[in-house]
Structure 1
């Protein structure tokens, strides 16, 4: 689990070579584009990270996930780097841009969000450090509230991919089933772990880079869109410190101390009161690695695509397409959201009629009224819940007809060539590289029970549509309506994908856990924050009393972020034991004395130390992970219980699952009826310490 400093340095240098070379490559490729140094660095870091994630995977198909595959990836990256340097003209590239000294005061005035971005990074880094299997003084490993569950799954993926080397990887917590979860968000750490980094370093370093890509990408997109650093500043606060009105319940009904002591009882996640809009930093970016790494690509891509379509840059469209093609196995929801956004932007790119402006203004109001009425009707009949998929298909059918109409007009007007040279160039690499990923991994899993199906109104339990989003999103949702009506045509066209995303996400779910649709809704929320922020800045630019302005600003800030602040504060002080000292010691024995592809019989607890820390496979893991991935565990869980209760009578099950070792700790004795005499007849005790016993199975 832990390696020396040499291993850490070697692995991190390997990773940073890809990132830095990606930055230099992007500077050379985009030398002629009017993009800032900061954005080229951001885009280059994303490009380099994508190369680091994908190049070893390509070789792993032929060489497994091994050091040799990573050496080949490094060689190819060096060759690509040299080729780009030789074949591109440096011009006014990376070096020449630094002739003038940096004017920091001017930079801060033009980019006020830089301060809060830095502060947000510090908060994220602090929580990540205290939440990532932190060694306690008693030898146990601790974590925080947000990572108490999901981090176990991610660590298990990281260690099993690195240790077992098998590719394509299987679920280490359900051997025999291909890992269809978008695992590149974890394999990036597997690469570092394989190359000698400690598990903590391998887990943390890529996430620190990714969160800066998320922050920077969001900021650049909003600034490209509205051309104002002040708008991007306000939007950053609204998005990453979203809060809602949950704090009111703490003021009226709940003891404030519960916010800092109880598990997931904060103003942004009070299930009993129907508060479901998670705090972005604490509840999404820190625990949800797929979301973090998906947004690290998506947000910079939104800014880059916006630049490409505004400047009709063929090269930019091509590079954006190549980057977008790598998204499906990093975060499928981000890829889906990007697809929806591109369809809507392309439609407005082709649509020339002027009368669309009034319809767009009404669309935001129509959206809420439409779902408000659907909610009332569904409460009475339940028909919308059953037929959400049909409603979505009907809506998409109308959009498809409008889309085809515009394509026909483009052919008649002989303008189709310009769209083929731009959006077509973007689409080609997406089809060539993303479609095979979807066919090989995603579609097979998504065809199972519980995935694509009708489900109405996301996670709203008992509130009407308007009240639910008002209390969850808060002041941003309330301001959205006047902001939308007053926005300009171009701003509305850019923001309109949010309406289609909401329309789809409110009627259909794409995975067994309907709550996961928030990964689509939050992308729509990006556009909402942009529209609202522009409205707020314009409001404060008007000439009225400065004292009233300050009072209103303070009031809006308090109402907007107080709930979020309480949630982040709770996350900063949260501390839970994840693995006891006994479990940690046992896993160290396992790492040193067992084959890396050995299968263990253990309990199905979510914090399974064997699965997470050793990278070994276990017969059956936690339902909280597997069921939400579409895997039915009922039969195998029953078999595990039988294997513990009657080892001699269930020898065939041990053979069926190739069990090499049996793990018995307090978890297993609490969960199962353990027949120790029977275990002794089919296996040899090889470890016994601190109430943890490990048996090695005899030849069965």
Structure 2
């Protein structure tokens, strides 16, 4: 743990000096630059390490990536010191704002620390408790982290589906895997980078609103609505119609389902990639705004660098940032604004070359079930089944418009009025570039998920609405600060709308805190740990394991033994594979054929990657005679305990 902690600190400090030297005036005062150094350091480390991973073992790739950043930071410090440049830029003179930012950061961090910690907790006996709300996301992320951290060389394969290039953004898990490889405990390696990012993201979110010139009162509520703003699900909760939040499925018509309760309980708690993507999104938007306000080419360049590296950090954040910047570049071009050339030169010349390799990998190598990166349809969640929190219709052939309006109102409440308020702003206020940028960005982010389906599971598009809320409250805040009269009235109206939108997110978060580990499940018990120890010592790191994770059962989302051993799975949780665009149909049919009739499916088994079969109680429940038939077919057990039977297949 000590070595991992030292590496994390050195990366952040080195990146701080790099930003002081090469990003002067882009990210603000030194405290903001230090906060920005956390995500930028993690981004640069993962990008550089990924390049070396093509040819080098994981440990060496990570050490070289760290060495490059640390040495570059040292030379930046040396140059700055030699030229007698300030190493700490003067702080904001408003002490009340500084205290406000500190208090908001500490209070929200403590809340998020408790929430995130519950997703993965180590018990006194060494086993791990996975929180109920993290039953899908945390085991998957663990499979990435252990695969990277426990093998000599990571092969960029999807651990959930052996043979498939990894399409899920992996940067944050690459860092955690490297920290694990340095000897840190699994829970520390898993949580430490995220906790640093949480502090950074809250601090920079407050700083972003301050950078826009918002008053302290508006900043407080802008932060709250960004993190906890949601829809009206709390009304049904308080009436006792639903037992819990955040999500609501299969609501009786005319009630509508809930697919967006709030950012914190839906994303921050378990979606590690979003935490990294969120703070990088804020940084890229701030640097682009700095370029717009001061015609700062360096700021445009940094925005382009960050967005160009975003696809493998968090794809949704990359698309959202590209939509926002694309809308503004189009506006500058149409207006024939001279600023367009600096913006295009600084942004496009850096973002596009950096994004092409990662986007090419994401688009060309995996098998998209949609047939493309996106498809057209009108209305978010209108193509999703109601029992998956989709649009609820009175009949299959009913007109969708009015139910969709109610669906959006249920999910966003008064927040859905923000785009219309922004359109009103365009008519009544001078169009300053920062206001145009925020307004066009907000409108683009509200509109895009209602027009484009970016993946087969439309539910995941809710992340665009999180950014739409952020940009909407920022745009309206800037507009209010520009008013000469009725400023208090406009401020009061905005705060009132925000207050009405907060209960769903707050209730969800406090319910999660109150219930703790209730409904969670334990991984790495004694039998699992014994099996893991044998697998690590006696099997090749590239061996592939077939297990109960290949069948659709609530208790078989991921196989703990395969995860803890750092091995690849023949096929993991099928719902996850489906929602992330991996075509598993052919492999699934072969697996079913093998489980039903193993002695007659030897030829079919050769068509899929499967070196071992791990039989557990879930498989025994569905296929009671499986072990006997495997023995008849000539397959031998290599290790057996009270819970598991490991059988060599090839």
Q: For 1:35, which of 28, 40, 47 is the aligned residue?
A: 28
Q: Distance in 1 between matches of 2:321 and 2:474?
A: 17
Q: CA deviation at 1:536?
A: 7.5
Does the 8 Å CA contact 1:599/1:618 hold for their aligned counterparts? Answer: yes
The alpha-carbon distance between structure 1 residues 137 and 679, as it changes in their structure 2 partners (threshold 3 A), is farther
SS of corresponding position for 1:662? strand
> Is 1:69–2:61 an aligned residue pair?
yes
Corresponding residue of 1:468: 407
Name the residue aligned to 1:596. Answer: 541
Alpha-carbon contact 2:246-2:504 (below 8 Å) kept: yes
Question: Are the counterparts in 1 of residues 381 and 459 from structure 2 also a CA contact under 8 Å?
Answer: yes
- What is the CA–CA distance in structure 2 between the aligned matches of 1:35 and 1:653, rounded to whole Å? 60
Match of 2:103 in 1: 115
Shift of the alpha carbon at 1:663? 0.8
Alignment counterpart, residue 45 of structure 1, candidates 31, 35, 38? 38
Is 1:425 aligned to 2:346, yes or no? yes
Partner of 1:485: 424
**Corresponding residue for residue 468 of structure 2:** 524
Whether 2:70 is the aligned partner of 1:78: answer yes
Change (3 A) 1:270 1:621: closer
| Contact persistence 2:480–2:487 (CA under 8 A) | no
Match 2:2 to one of 4, 9, 16: 9
Partners in 2 of 1:608 and 1:421 — Cα distance? 52
- Cross-structure match for 2:305: 322
Unaligned runs of 5+ in 1: 1-7, 260-265, 351-402
Is the partner of 1:309 in helix, strand or coil?
Answer: helix
Indicate which of 236, 241, 245 corresponds to 1:249. 236
Name the structure 1 match of 2:528. Answer: 583
Change (3 A) 1:34 1:633: closer
**Shift in Å at residue 90 of structure 1?**
5.1
The answer to whether residue 613 in structure 2 is matched with residue 620 in structure 1 is no
Aligned to 1:637: 588
Shift in alpha-carbon separation, 1:191–1:541, aligned structure 2, 3 A: farther
Conserved 8 A contact 2:123-2:129: yes
**Equivalents in 1 of 2:616, 2:411: separation in Å?**
42
Query: 2-side partners of 1:247 and 1:532: how far apart?
Result: 25
Alignment of 1:48-447 (within 5 A): 48-64=41-57, 66-88=58-80, 91-95=84-88, 97=90, 106-109=94-97, 112-132=100-120, 134-136=121-123, 140-254=127-241, 258-259=243-244, 266=245, 269-272=248-251, 273-348=256-331, 350=332, 403=333, 405-406=334-335, 409=336, 415=338, 419-445=340-366
Q: Residues 11 and 192 of structure 1 are in contact (CA less than 8 Å); yes or no, is this contact kept in structure 2?
A: yes
Whether the aligned pair in 2 keeps the contact of 1:160 and 1:615 (CA below 8 Å) is yes
| Secondary structure in 1 matching 2:281 | helix
State the 1:170 CA deviation.
0.9
Distance 1:522 1:109 in 2: 25
Distance change in 2, residues 1:611/1:278 (3 Å): farther
1:24 deviation in Å? 1.6
- Check whether the contact 1:231–1:530 (CA below 8 A) recurs between aligned residues: no
Aligned to 2:212, what secondary structure does the other structure show? Answer: helix
Q: CA deviation at 1:538?
A: 8.8
User: What is the aligned residue count?
Assistant: 610
Q: Which runs of 5+ in 2 are unaligned?
A: 383-390, 393-401, 551-555
Deviation of residue 204 (structure 1)? 0.4
The separation in 2 between residues aligned to 1:644 and 1:542, in whole angstroms, is 71
Deviations 1:146-198 (A, max 9, x none): 21111111111221233345454112222111112222232121111222222
Q: Which moved further from structure 2: 683-692 or 505-514?
A: 683-692
1:562 alignment counterpart? 503
Moved more, 117-126 or 41-50: 41-50
SS in 1 for 2:366: helix
Question: How far apart are the structure 1 equivalents of 2:509 and 2:216?
Answer: 25
Say which of 596, 599, 615 aligns to 1:648: 599
Q: Tell me, yes or no, if the aligned pair for 1:220 and 1:300 is still in contact at 8 Å.
A: no
Secondary structure of 1:325 counterpart: helix
Measured at CA, do residues 96 and 343 of structure 1 come closer, stay the same or move farther in structure 2, by a change above 3 Å? closer
Aligned runs of 1:656-667 on 2, under 5 Å? 656-667=607-618
Q: Is the 8 A contact 2:369 2:456 kept in 1?
A: no
* Aligned equivalents of 1:662, 1:219: Cα separation in 2: 51
When the two structures are superposed, what TM-score results if normalisation uses the length of structure 2?
0.85
Q: Give the secondary-structure state (helix, strand or coil) at the position aligned to 1:606.
A: coil
Q: Is the contact between residue 459 and residue 515 of structure 1 (CA under 8 Å) also seen in structure 2?
A: yes
Give, in angstroms, the shift of residue 241 of structure 1: 1.1
Corresponding residue number in structure 2 for 1:499: 443
Q: In structure 2, do the counterparts of structure 1 residues 555 and 72 end up closer, same or farther at CA, with 3 Å as the change threshold? A: closer
Q: 1:142 to 1:540 in 2, by over 3 A?
A: farther
Distance 2:475 2:12 in 1: 33
How many angstroms apart in 1 are the aligned matches of 2:637 and 2:566? 21
Q: Residue 387 of structure 2 aligns with which residue?
A: none
The separation in 2 between residues aligned to 1:690 and 1:205, in whole angstroms, is 35
Distance 1:177 1:529, change over 3 A: same
> What residue number does 2:395 align with?
none
Query: Which residue of the partner structure matches residue 571 of structure 1?
Result: 512
Residue 18 (1) aligns with residue 36 (2): no
Instruction: Mark the CA change 1:51 to 1:505 in structure 2 (over 3 Å): closer, same or farther.
Output: same
Deviation track 1:72-111 (CA, whole Å, cap 9, x = no partner) reads 223322332244345557554224748xxx98xx534456
In the alignment, what sits opposite 1:515?
Answer: 459
Correspondent of 2:638 among 686, 692, 696:
686
2 CA distance for matches of 1:46 and 1:653?
46
Q: CA deviation at 1:427?
A: 1.4
Structure 1 residues 480 and 656, CA, compared in 2 at 3 Å: closer, same or farther? closer
Task: Please say if residues 108 and 114 of structure 1, whose CA atoms lie closer than 8 Å, have aligned partners that are also in contact.
Answer: no
Q: Is the 8 A contact 1:113 1:232 kept in 2?
A: no
Structure-2 change in CA distance of 1:288 and 1:541 (3 Å): farther
